[in-house]
Structure 1
Amino acid sequence: MKYDCIVIGGGPSGLMAAISAGLHGARVLLLEKGDRLGRKLLISGGGRCNVTNNKEIDELIQHIPGNGRFMYGPFSVFNNRDIVRFFEELGIRLKEEDRGRMFPVSDKAKSVLDALLTKMRDLDVVIKTNTAVASVRYEQGAVAGVKLRGGEQIDAPAVIIASGGMSVPKTGSTGDGYAWARAAGHTITDLYPTEVPIRSKEPWIKELQGLSLRHIVLTVQNAKGKKIIAHEGDMIFTHFGISGPAVLRCSQFVVKELKKGATAVQLQLDLFPEQKLEDLQAELYRRAEAEPKKAFKNVIKGFIPERMIPLLLAKSELDEDTTFANLPKKPLATLAELLKALPISASGTLSIEEAFITGGGVHLKEVTPSTMQSKLMPGLFFSGEILDLHGYTGGFNITVAFSTGYVAGKSAAESYA
């Protein structure tokens, strides 16, 4: 059988690319080296599949810190609202949750995957699993098809590389596509982990292992102590450092500072982001004054996370058993300052394989944003995480995957059908 388009990779971007190419009239072959499709999709959104985010386009792009402006091109063809319509037309009803996150009403990623697989069957997309690609074939200055690891060659005038990055390798993302892009003359920018837990060598971190904090603000500072970025959200202390949504969003900025040669990066944790420092200090004083005979450590229980009280009082040089009558003002002020800016030294992050997303990839100056076609090799298209594009968790990365996948599929079909 002859194909108009070959899609390499059965993740969210590859599935969308195959459907889009089929919708626009192409005869499509989807190749997946693993034994099943959609493995990363099934674990996205905690197994519920956060299919997109409902924010306005400009705000959406602000949540794609890795070259987000490039996405104005793909979004002009297929944006987050189009993604919502697409899934609803497939029979997947969606609901909006906090921060604009869009989930299937079923709360099951499998229902999303099943709908995509059904659509591909309806479009007669040929699917081959357990089929690894050895190389993309380039002949006479254009795409000619692919060569499989077993030696078989399959012809097609258009190939979409949707093979992912290097993060979560158990889903099949092991960086295979970078070599195929380089062979076409493409530049691969430095690869690094993003949306990844942060390591810390602070001696007190392990004492707080398992403690979750809600609605905090975490700030990343540069070597001069100036704020680089701050994110609000939840976090958790781990045996190696910190994790959770706010931490993941800050992680890429830690990585970038370390790349500049820093041995550690200073973070600040604000436990009470909605309160001013002076109001927080006054609140601590008021609580002590209201129960003058109580030990201060008991006065602040229920106000400050209990497991953090010994650490914070020790850092403030406040006796745990002191009462209101003996409460010194300077250490009380120090405690308030720590509650607003507890310093945490970040020594690094977990590895790129342990990250949710890969930073870096195919250089975007070498790709046409409105078509996702290579500027260097006719017939070659890219979509998803192989590109030097990344967003925050919360539906932004999968929006990039679906948008670039749809555009690549549409463009490949229209150019070579």
Structure 2
Amino acid sequence: MKYDVIIIGGGPSGLMAAISAGRSGAKTLLIEKGSKLGRKLAISGGGRCNVTNVLPDDELIAHIPGNGRFLYSAFSLYNNYSIIDYFESLGVKLKEEDKGRMFPVSDSAKTVVQTLIKELDVYSIDSRLNTKVEAVDYGEQQHQVILEGGEKVECTSLVIAVGGKSVPHTGSEGQGYAWAKKAGHTITELYPTEVPMTSKEKFIRDKVLQGISIRDVELTALKPNGKPIKTHRWDLIFTHQGISGPAALRISQYVVKALKKFDVDELTCSIDTFPDESPESLSQKLIKASERQPNKAVKHLWKEEIPERYLLFLMDRTSFDPMSTFHHLEKKKVMELAGLMKDFRFKVNGTLPIEKAFITGGGVSLKEIIPNQMASKLMDRLYFCGEILDIHGYTGGFNITAAFSTGHVAGMNAAERAIIQY
């Protein structure tokens, strides 16, 4: 069987590439080694599917710290608003939530996945599930995809959309890097991003704070000399291994790089639980809260401001009696506690492995990719899209936006190149 375009990988970028190729008039085949298409889409956004983010292009790219600037060309052809228009034109109503995140009104990722699968039928796109690609052979006039069992399928243009090495149960096991290398491509160093961080601190090992979630904190990773590397403001959760939640996930890539750069086993992180308060204004706030109910123990009053277990933990660190009342408050002690609420420092020693990360850092070198086509500079009629490329963003709809955008551009150009070939 001969196709104009074959796409390997049925994730978000592969689905979009297939639809884009089919819509451009190419006879298209989508190959997926798993039993379902869109598996990573189905678990994104906690199963609700964070389809994209409505931030303007410049801010969108700032939230893609892994080579986001490379995407300006792709976004000029197909950006976040193109994604919103596309899904709404297909009857998938979207809603905006905090920090610009866009979700389907149904709150179900299945809505998004099923809509894309239906689009495959609209454009008569063939799809083969449970089909493992063993090898890829590149040729001057056509490429050949060799399937498990020895079956060979030919195409004029080939799109590789198999993802990175993160979340392997969705099918992303890094197999595409070998096919890229075979075409002469460089694979930049792979590392985990958007991944929970680990710590050997006694309070972590003893699970003192496990399960505690703190909303709207500033988390800062510090260099060995104490200077900040990066700060992110969002929610944080303590785990039995360290810290997770959006703030921790966003900081993780900077910790991975800094541990290697400074050749150290641990780095210090700082949590500011009250980013909008100074230590002085926070201590005054605590004192005034106690003054309003002078006979009540402060632990009962201040837990309105901060999770009780975390409050008691910080009180213990400063030898502050949680049963103190306003009548016995020492201003110096309150200041000390406020200081710790503003700057609680602890050591992290790394992250969970790349397989546990949401996103893979590194991938096919962008120096070897034409940005407005997603085409290889080294092999004619070869295209890449999605996470296999050396592009990564923060959680919040940024990676899916990059996947849909690069997928659309890759599929469209693969189709045009295949049809021109004739």
AA of the residue aligned to 1:198: M
1:305 corresponds to which of 279, 304, 307: 307
Q: What secondary structure, in the 3-state scheme, does the structure 1 residue paired with 2:29 have?
A: strand
SS at match of 1:157: strand
In 1, Cα distance between equivalents of 2:43 and 2:10: 14
Distance 1:165 1:27 in 2: 27
Is structure 2 residue 414 aligned with structure 1 residue 415?
A: no
Letter in 1 for 2:66: G
Verify: 1:109 aligned to 2:120, yes or no: no
Give deviations 1:243-293, integer Å, cap 9, x for gaps: 111111111111111122121111111111121221001122323444444
Separation in structure 1 between the aligned mates of residue 274 and residue 227 of structure 2, nearest angstrom: 20
Task: Find the residue that maps to 2:383 and give its secondary structure.
Answer: strand
Q: Residues of 1 paired with 2:404 and 2:54: CA distance?
A: 14
Q: Verify the 8 A CA contact 2:7 2:31 in the aligned structure 1.
A: yes
Q: Which amino acid aligns with 2:75?
A: F
Once the two structures are TM-superposed, the CA of residue 363 in structure 1 deviates from its matched residue by: 0.6
- C-alpha spacing 1:157/1:211, structure 2 compared with 1 (3 Å): same
* 2:176 aligned residue: 177
Q: Which residue of 2 aligns with 1:89?
A: 89
| Shift in CA distance, 241/127, structure 1 to aligned 2, threshold 3 Å | same
The answer (yes or no) to whether the contact 1:20–1:409 under 8 Å persists in 2 is yes
- Percent of aligned positions with the same letter in both sequences? 56
Matched, 1:159 2:158: yes
Aligned AA (1:258): L
- CA–CA separation in structure 1 for the residues paired with 2:143 and 2:343: 58
Aligned residue for 1:223, secondary structure, equals coil
SS of equivalent to 1:43: helix
Deviations 1:363-411 (A, max 9, x none): 1111011000011111110000001101111110000000000000000
Aligned residue in 2 for 1:4: 4
Alignment-derived partner of residue 134 in structure 2:
134
Residue 343 of structure 1 and its aligned partner are, at CA, apart by 0.7
Does 2:37 align with 1:37? yes
Please report how far the alpha carbon of residue 330 of structure 1 lies from its aligned counterpart in structure 2 after TM superposition: 3.0
Rounded Cα–Cα distance in structure 2 between residues aligned with 1:299 and 1:106: 39
Give the conservation status (yes or no) of the 8 Å contact 1:137–1:143: no
Q: CA deviation at 1:295?
A: 4.1
CA distance in 2, matches of 1:259, 1:245: 23
Give the TM-score, by structure 2 length: 0.95
- In structure 2, the partner of 1:64 is 64
* Bigger Cα displacement from structure 2, 182-191 vs 292-301: 292-301
Query: How many positions carry a matched residue from both structures?
Result: 416
Please give the secondary structure, in 1, of the residue aligned with 2:299. helix
Q: Gaps spanning 5+ residues in structure 2: where? A: none
CA distance in 2, matches of 1:168, 1:271: 31
Partner residue, 2:330? 328
1:143 and 1:218 map into 2 onto residues whose CA distance is 51
AA matched with 2:250: R
TM-superposed deviation, 1:190? 0.9
Please give the secondary structure, in 2, of the residue aligned with 1:73: helix
Give 2:364's aligned residue.
Answer: 362
Provide the secondary structure at the position in 2 that maps to 1:116: helix
Q: 1:319 aligns with which of 318, 321, 325?
A: 321
Question: How far, CA to CA, are the matches of 2:281 and 2:148 in structure 1?
Answer: 66
CA distance in 2, matches of 1:203, 1:266: 15
- Give distance in 1, aligned partners of 2:105 and 2:327: 56
Answer yes or no: is the 8 Å Cα contact 1:96–1:103 preserved in 2.
Answer: yes
Match of 1:145 in 2: 144
Partner of 1:279: 281
1:198 aligns with 2:185: no
Question: 1:226 matched to which residue of 2?
Answer: 227
Displacement of 1:19 in angstroms is 0.3
Q: SS at the partner of 1:3?
A: strand
Structure 2 counterpart SS, 1:146:
strand
Structure 1 residue 143 displacement after superposition = 5.3
Q: In structure 2, what is the Cα distance between the partners aligned to 1:311 and 1:108?
A: 38
3-state SS of 1:155 partner: strand
Tell me the SS of whatever aligns to 1:267. Answer: strand
What is the rounded CA distance, in whole Å, between the counterparts of 2:299 and 2:52 in structure 1? 45
CA distance 1:322–1:47, change in 2 (3 Å): closer
Q: Pick which of 131-140 and 241-250 moved more.
A: 131-140
Q: CA–CA distance in 1 between the matches of 2:315 and 2:65?
A: 37
Question: 2: distance between equivalents of 1:24 and 1:70?
Answer: 24
Counterpart amino acid of residue 179 in structure 2: W
Residue 403 of structure 1 pairs with residue 405 of structure 2: yes
TM-score (normalised: structure 1): 0.96
RMSD between superposed Cα atoms in Å: 1.5
Equivalent residue in structure 2 for 1:263, among 262, 265, 273: 265
Unaligned runs of 5+ in 1: none
Structure 2 distance, partners of 1:27, 1:291, is: 74
